[in-house]
Structure 1
Amino acid sequence: NALAGAVNGAYELLMDYDLLIQAEVILHVHYALMVPPGTSMQDLKYVQSHPQALAQCARDLQRNNLSPVAWYDTAGAAKDLSEEKPEHTGALAPPKAAELYGLDVLAKDIEDEPFNYTRFLLLGNEDPPRSEYNKTSLVFATRNRPAALYECLGEFASRGLNLTKIESRPRRNRPWEPVFYVDFEGHWQDAACQEALTRLLQKASFVKMLGSYPAVKSNSVGI
């Protein structure tokens, strides 16, 4: 997400399952503060939602002295509010959820910034067809030696491959040995990409391809 950063649980799923990224989708996300009918802002003390939604609307929650309550997803938070009606509690969710679950909307578009975009990945079993603009994603681990990460990333830089994202995450069952998730522009079938990937396989201790897929150019969605 452009405001709250990575959804960490998604990285674990990419490691755990042998699926390939089919495409990326970038959505402009809006949130509404919703309550059971008859509830006013003065009645509220708590707001429940997914941690990402709470983080994306943190400024508004603080301004209204509302305590965040983490929930497994935004729609689930709205559904629970409609069914269980916990006292002094509202929910953060897309406006459609209020209509779906019979809730009143106290405030719309309460995300901290107007450029609240979230990137979603479509997963599947097959290699997707090439498009005009592609990205490649992978995860790798370095060998335990000085400048190992620098050497691995240098294989992309030396071939003019633009990295659009790099994120380090802990590696399960291997304390203090992080893995690095990387996105870069290009398709694995491109000559420069193949050269970089071949060299990365030689230098890294672990590499897992997550796929080459049709991607969205940032300027095409206004970011």
Structure 2
Amino acid sequence: MSLKAVPIWVCANHFPQHSSQLGGDLFVPKRCRFVGYSRMECFAGLSLERAKTPVEDDKPLAKPDLGVASIDVSNTNQSLGFHKDLNSLPKPLSATDFSSSLDDGSKVRVAYQGVPGAYSEAAALKAYPKCETVPCDQFEAAFKAVELWLVDKAVLPIENSVGGSIHRNYDLLLRHRLHIVGEVKLVVNHCLLGLPGVRKEDLKRVLSHPQVVAADGIRDTGAVASSRAAEIYGLDILAEGMQDQSDNITRFLILAREPIIPGTEKPHKTSIVFTLEEGPGILFKALAVFALREINLSKIESRPQRKRPLRVVDDSNKGSAKYFDYLFYIDFEASMAEPRAQYALGHLQEFAKFIRVLGCYPMDTIL
């Protein structure tokens, strides 16, 4: 059997004195290489080329021109849908800014979808307690804000324990060349808010937008939002725990322009996306590469390919059959610094036409 050539990132945990980012889609230590594309052997300094199969909008991210002193804010603000005036945002960061950033996020600008007081903002503040949050109208605006160096990171929801996956963000992960560098799990606590002095019995209707209640001063109208929204808009909390299920949890992803170096000192999770060759049992074989190495899969999501949704297969004398052609998104609980994860992805290449590592990052174990 043969292994296909894939892009590589070098894991600095094995060779920190020689580590370098090679701009691909897999973390593999420099001491390991594919020999004859048939087996893994120890050897230093060999990288493999990226698989050439194009998938969806998998285009290289254009590097920002850091020599440009200004951006056409009038057009950018309209197209990206930011709440803030982009002129108020700091200039693009330099390498010095990154090296001096503190762990508490005091020098980090984080984009999120929604308005101040949204749960996405709360997730950003959980990840970086002293960060500057930047609200965006749309999910894609948050992606673009990171790509354009307007912010350092974006925190976006990917799944909810009640509502399921946010498919839009799965599609945007593939369309944009950002990297997952962390996750945040946040308990949803819906509160009933009202103007100061208003009782719950006085309410005649309830909205889902606290800004309307606060701005218009409507005393017989309440709002369902977070406790932080009550602080921001000067509203009273009339009741808490308004959600249908008490264990309502949303998982968010932290996205950045550059990946982080994976470690083994704490539990890590790796997110990948791939497509498979046609054949009976091919998905079973693909998933078995993780089971064989005792790697737990915490998430699997399938999405039809947007530009090539149908696969035509002539598998009978009655004519051609048409099937959806899928992308598979998987989260597995292992760090790319571990050999078992590296070997699992090498094994997966036997069945995958395309594979991309979206990120390897520490798991959020605190609610």
Per the alignment, in what secondary structure is the counterpart of residue 202 of structure 1?
Answer: coil
User: Aligned equivalents of 2:220 and 2:302: distance in 1?
Assistant: 39
Residue 190 in 1 paired to residue 338 in 2? Answer: yes
Which of 286, 291, 296 in structure 2 is aligned with 1:162? Answer: 296
Q: 1:17 to 1:88 in 2, by over 3 A?
A: farther
Query: 1:2 — aligned with what?
Result: 161
Larger Rg: 2
Query: 1:62 — aligned with what?
Result: none
Q: CA deviation at 1:85?
A: 6.8
Q: CA deviation at 1:114?
A: 2.5
Q: Which structure is higher in helix share?
A: 1
Where does structure 1 lack aligned partners over 5 or more consecutive residues?
49-76
Query: 2:327 — aligned with what?
Result: 179
CA deviation vs aligned residue, 1:171-220 (integer Å, no higher than 9, x gap):
22122222111111111231111111012122112211111111134xx5
Residue 27 in 1 paired to residue 186 in 2? Answer: yes
Which of the pair has the greater relative contact order for Cα pairs under 8 Å at 6+ separation? 1
TM-score by length of structure 1 reads 0.74
User: Aligned equivalents of 1:171 and 1:92: distance in 2?
Assistant: 36
Q: 1:15 to 1:132 in 2, by over 3 A?
A: same
Query: 1:204 — aligned with what?
Result: 352
Per the alignment, in what secondary structure is the counterpart of residue 14 of structure 1?
Answer: helix
Q: CA deviation at 1:36?
A: 4.9
Query: 2:207 — aligned with what?
Result: 47
User: Aligned equivalents of 2:194 and 2:284: distance in 1?
Assistant: 51
Which amino acid in structure 2 is aligned with residue 47 of structure 1? L
TM-score by length of structure 2 reads 0.47
User: Aligned equivalents of 2:273 and 2:332: distance in 1?
Assistant: 12
Q: CA deviation at 1:129?
A: 4.2
Counterparts of residues 33-72 of structure 1 (less than 5 Å): 33-36=192-195, 38=198, 42-44=203-205, 47-48=207-208
Q: CA deviation at 1:87?
A: 11
User: Aligned equivalents of 2:222 and 2:249: distance in 1?
Assistant: 23
Counterparts of residues 5-154 of structure 1 (less than 5 Å): 5-36=164-195, 38=198, 42-44=203-205, 47-48=207-208, 77-83=209-215, 90-124=222-256, 125-130=258-263, 131-154=265-288
CA deviation vs aligned residue, 1:78-105 (integer Å, no higher than 9, x gap):
2244335789864321112122113343
Per the alignment, in what secondary structure is the counterpart of residue 82 of structure 1?
Answer: helix
Q: 1:102 to 1:159 in 2, by over 3 A?
A: same
Q: Which structure is higher in strand share?
A: 1
CA deviation vs aligned residue, 1:108-158 (integer Å, no higher than 9, x gap):
111222222222221221324413211111011222322221111111111
Q: CA deviation at 1:10?
A: 1.8
Q: Contact between 1:28 and 1:115, CA under 8 Å: does it hold in 2?
A: yes
Q: 1:111 to 1:96 in 2, by over 3 A?
A: same
Query: 1:53 — aligned with what?
Result: none
Question: How many residues are matched?
Answer: 190
The CA RMSD measured in Å over matched residues stands at: 2.5
Per the alignment, in what secondary structure is the counterpart of residue 174 of structure 1?
Answer: coil
Query: 1:215 — aligned with what?
Result: 363
Per the alignment, in what secondary structure is the counterpart of residue 184 of structure 2?
Answer: strand
Which amino acid in structure 1 is aligned with residue 211 of structure 2? K
Q: Contact between 2:297 and 2:330, CA under 8 Å: does it hold in 1?
A: yes
Q: CA deviation at 1:15?
A: 1.1
User: Aligned equivalents of 1:128 and 1:29: distance in 2?
Assistant: 31
Q: CA deviation at 1:11?
A: 1.0
196-205 or 110-119, larger mean C-alpha shift: 110-119
